[in-house]
Structure 1
Amino acid sequence: MKKISAAFGGLPMTWPIVCGFAVIIGIYVGVINQIPIMHDTSFQDVAVTLEWWVLFAVLIVSNCKSAREAGLKCLVFFLISQPVIYLIELPAIGLDKALYYYTSIWLPVSLLTLPGGAIAFLAKRQNALGAAILGVGNTIVALMGVSYFRQMLGSFPRHLLTVVSCAAIIAVTVLGMQRKRRTRLLSAAITVLLTAGIAAWTVLSGRTL
């Protein structure tokens, strides 16, 4: 438990580490997208959906000293990692498609991490506000897990690792970010209730997760 807590507040998240981390993740995602056998598997899911990116962001913000620092470091992490991905993919997908995907999807997402990182920094607070912010963030991960679980049922064991990873990410962030039993339970309850509510709404409205 102490080792988990240390990862969320005890790591030296300096600017060089943030930039280096971004480059490493960008290279991994860019390379994994070029391996056909990895397509539609847990190893490529990090390039498709947000669950791992949520964890990366939480690791960064939890090791910052202020909301301003958290927002800026999250922004820089995404502004570096995403272009690295598309630079590696450039020979395969072409400049036009790379620019389209980046400017229409990941650039807006990256810019949102500035205020998002500052807000996520408040999840460090050991109170209802911190638990609620973490619970909402983990809802994104939970919804990804539900979506991949449904896909896994039709093509087992594809995406099994992603489903397990989503559950692990939620557990680790709750245990690492919140120190009190009641705020941990509150955060987990918010994630469960929001996920159940959104999942029910998508089913009733004929949509898919």
Structure 2
Amino acid sequence: MQNDLPPGMRHYPGFLDDAAQRALLDDIRAAVAAAPLFVPAMPRTGKPMSVRMINLGALGWVTDKERGYRYQPTHPETGRPWPPIPPRLLDLWGEVAAYAAPPEACLVNFYEATAKMGLHQDRDERDFEAPVVSVSLGDACLFRIGGLKRTDPTRSLRLESGDVFVLGGASRLAFHGVDRIYPGSSMLLRNGGRINLTLRRVSLLADEATAS
């Protein structure tokens, strides 16, 4: 684990070996067969994002011009429920999240060679006590991390296929983004590109207790 990061950030280089990466990729391919990738759009402007995505789990993060950022239980194009989060991802969460409840959402973002993701916070969830756990598959990326304000200084690190990165604790709402993809840096995906899996809790534990 990389230790020279701000409190609450954790980087686990090579957390998944080649076999584990390929097994997880098979899970993702099966999910995409049931829930096709779609292109999310920015609120207000409707500008398409440069990534394609789906979700796994009881809830999925989506965005469009009309209704903006939100979580919902169904695919915005097919209307069907999202595929479940694979057991191997639930096990990974159990190993690194240090949180009492499982994730409710797994965003699956596919980055082509020119795709990027601007600096942003993950703040559409109700539960900020739970961390955000990110898994990288395929081509490496230049990942930028900052502070709790957009104007805070940033630093960059390279995330390779099989790496896991955690935003939690004091860094749960840290700004972060993807500056670039390094095409050809991994042979995992036949046609190149990067897949990022982001595991999140959405609901507060108190909400679940009340509902039950």
- Provide the TM-score with structure 2 as the length reference: 0.27
Bigger proportion of residues as helix: 1
Bigger proportion of residues as strand: 2
Structure label with greater radius of gyration: 1
- Provide the TM-score with structure 1 as the length reference: 0.27
